[in-house]
Amino acid sequence: MPHITLGLMQAAIGMAVENGLTHLCATMERQLLRLLARVGVHFVEVGPLVELFGLRQPCFRDIGDLLSQIHDERPDVSDVLSNEGRYEEAVRRNRHGD
């Protein structure tokens, strides 16, 4: 399992959730998108590849949907990326304005 990649994803998800964001947007190398997909992290591709320090794929994902899908596909990865479920609860609170 790519621990550094998962740690960076956990940090990105955590910062987004803690700041009340509901979606992640990024431009990533296709190779990184394939690596993330292998561990259950699937992004939605938006538009064609763009030149940004090399070819990158613009993509996005609703954080709540992302965490739910990871939970279903890879519970082992879900524990890491959701900070043992804490981020999923925060996403629910953010969606309902609590």
User: In terms of residues, how long is the chain?
Assistant: 98
DSSP per-residue codes, 34-73? HHHHHTT---EE-SS-EESSSEEEEEEEEHHHHHHHHHHH
By CB atoms closer than 10 A (0-12, 13-18, 19+), residue 5 is middle
Summarised one tens digit per residue, pLDDT across range 23-61 is 999 999 999 999 999 989 999 999 999 999 999 999 999
Q: Cβ distance 51 to 38 under 8 Å? A: no
Q: What is the pLDDT of residue 97?
A: 67
Would you place residue 95 in the very low, low, confident or very high pLDDT band (cuts 50, 70, 90)? confident
CATH of the domain at 46: 3.40.630.30
Q: How far lies 24's CA from each of 57, 60, in Å?
A: 14, 5
> What is the pTM for the complete model shown?
0.85
Write down the mean pLDDT value for the chain. 91
Q: What is the pLDDT of residue 88?
A: 86
Domain range holding 31?
A: 3-96
Count structural domains, the chain. 1
